[in-house]
Structure 1
């Protein structure tokens, strides 16, 4: 199979589309060390910096640092910010962790967990009242996806489509062969499926669509690992589940490999020791979607590497 390079960016250092959002020094006084934390782009309906405020407050109080946060314009920009020294630590996609390790520029500081589960899922869903009953029925149709580098919202849906016999062509960086693709974010992909007639299916993380999928349609592997299973089918309109992926290791917290500041060990310890009560504020408008961080390494993402290999993709220099 001819391999296709992706995870590329032409953005110059300093033009990464970062949205500044200094959280401020909440604990350590004016002499604390500043840690630059970059966030992956969130859903269109989520303020990711507000989500992360409890975590940032915890890190500041426990590690005695000042957190400055920025939001990257896309997943590739997260790695470029780490590689260029504009960020010390980041939330990132598994594909970014794999390429960061390939480049020798990043380490996995931890793997996010939600209510004890360090795995999550990709869903391909369709509206309940259309004629799509299987992935094979999507040939010639339009499918909405999340960011092109999203593990659960792009790579795994493309892999599932490929395994069903559909030619994914040059996706996710180019055009699919057997269907049309649109890339945005998880929420937009879901809403596009619901509101726009040409779109017949959506590839998203399960977290974006599970509340629209009847619990009876969920396979046992999803019921075992997904903490949101009790909310399945609680929202309208109903979406039918065409396929759920195998379990995917949850996304990593990455750290710049050459970050040798005194604060590094303190931040790592505070991160790995964080309790659910340190991270989740149930009264907040934007609740953080994970409840802890486990130790991990890039080897935990071998299932993602397998999908990348099966799709014939090659992570490229950012």
Structure 2
């Protein structure tokens, strides 16, 4: 097994230079926020302002990616919330990119979000419900993949290569990956906001990143285990920490194409679920309580008959705080990523 197929220094999970609040106040975060109707352009499938006339309709903004992939995954969650909460009409929208999430929340076109970068960018604007749990764990891993016959065995082998990433603000598919390359000694330039120096990089989404590798458009790709694990051989050896802590290991061998991992992160907290603080409705607490009370047995009751259980992104919530996302903040600061 290549020496890079190990979790990177896990001590930076506990690294702290003041509280999260202090660190956020010392650094200006920015997420390119638009105003007015421009906020709508980030919501996939939405060409005009979302109607907010129905006071009983709650909009949940899913993790930015391919809508045809993401919406079906969350159908059991959607069905469970509507089934368990009287009078709730829940709409799930898939933003075009991560920048669009906070835009939609600030313009009150959405009530609930679920990505850590948006939460970190303006924690005072959000009420954190907790961290999503799947398969008994609230963690996942960032990973780097290449073709089985590639000469890439470690991060430094990416010098001079073409690398595909997910969205620029994706924690696993961009932020952790770029930081890991910098940590290995590569010159990442202004990535992910600009161009790297020691390698060529392009950013899109998790699915496209993997497809570019499959189609020989790049030499390697960066993604997360919920997306990439299915491209590993069924007998692919995993680092002990991944074997014990990742909920997607049973997905190995599900895709026809086989890719080879050569780097893994340490465990990353899964996506938080939060609501905008300005949302004043009894539904907010009812939704939070329903998510916390959910479990695998309950979620199964709301699965469509043709649902692939390996796609399930949520079974319940683990109560967490901002300190759990300190590793993400560390990397955002180090890479000088503006979130504001």
Report the counterpart of residue 19 of structure 2 in structure 1.
none
Matched, 1:294 2:294: no
Quote the offset at 1:176 in angstroms.
0.7
CA contact under 8 A between 2:225 and 2:248: conserved in structure 1? no
More deviation, 227-236/290-299: 227-236
Tell me if structure 2 keeps the 8 A contact 1:145–1:184.
yes
CA drift of 1:88 comes to 1.0
Tell me the distance in 2 between the aligned counterparts of 1:263 and 1:235: 40
Once the two structures are superposed, residues 168-205 of structure 1 have per-residue CA deviations (whole angstroms, 9 ceiling, x without a partner) of 111111111111111111111111101124x1000000
The offset of 1:100, in angstroms, is 2.3
Q: How far 1:211 moved relative to its partner?
A: 2.6
Answer with 283-292 or 53-62: which moved more: 283-292
Are 1:211 and 1:234, in contact at CA under 8 Å, matched by a contact in 2? yes
Question: Aligned Cα RMSD in Å?
Answer: 2.5
After superposition, residues 1-318 of structure 1 pair within 5 angstroms as: 8-9=31-32, 11-15=34-38, 16-17=40-41, 18=43, 19=45, 33-43=56-66, 46=69, 48-64=70-86, 65-92=88-115, 94-101=116-123, 104-197=124-217, 199-214=218-233, 215-233=235-253, 235-280=255-300, 281=303, 283-285=305-307, 287-311=311-335, 313-317=336-340
Distance 1:168 1:44 in 2: 30
TM-fit CA distance, 1:233: 4.4
Indicate conservation of the 8 Å contact 1:44/1:187, yes or no.
no
Q: Give 1:26's aligned residue.
A: none
Distance 1:217 1:288 in 2: 23
Change (3 A) 1:67 1:162: same
Mapped contact 2:140–2:247 kept (Cα < 8 A): no
Cα distance in 2 for residues equivalent to 1:167 and 1:233: 34
Residue 260 (structure 1) shift: 1.8
Deviation at 1:268, TM superposition (A): 0.9
When the two structures are superposed, what TM-score results if normalisation uses the length of structure 2?
A: 0.81
1:33 Cα offset (Å): 2.3
In the TM superposition, what is the alpha-carbon distance from 1:276 to its structure 2 partner? Answer: 1.9
Alpha-carbon distance in structure 2 between the residues aligned to 1:43 and 1:177: 29
2:10 matched residue in structure 1: none
Partners of 1:279 and 1:288 within 8 A in 2: no
Equivalenced residue count is 300
- The structural deviation recorded for 1:212 is 2.5
* Alignment partners' CA distance in 2, 1:51 and 1:301: 24
**CA–CA separation in structure 2 for the residues paired with 1:49 and 1:125:** 25
Aligned 8 A contact 2:132 2:273 in 1: yes
Q: Which secondary structure state, in structure 2, belongs to the residue aligned with residue 55 of structure 1?
A: helix
Distance 2:27 2:242 in 1: 31
Q: Are 1:5 and 1:314, in contact at CA under 8 Å, matched by a contact in 2?
A: no
Distance 1:233 1:284, change over 3 A: closer
Higher strand share: 1
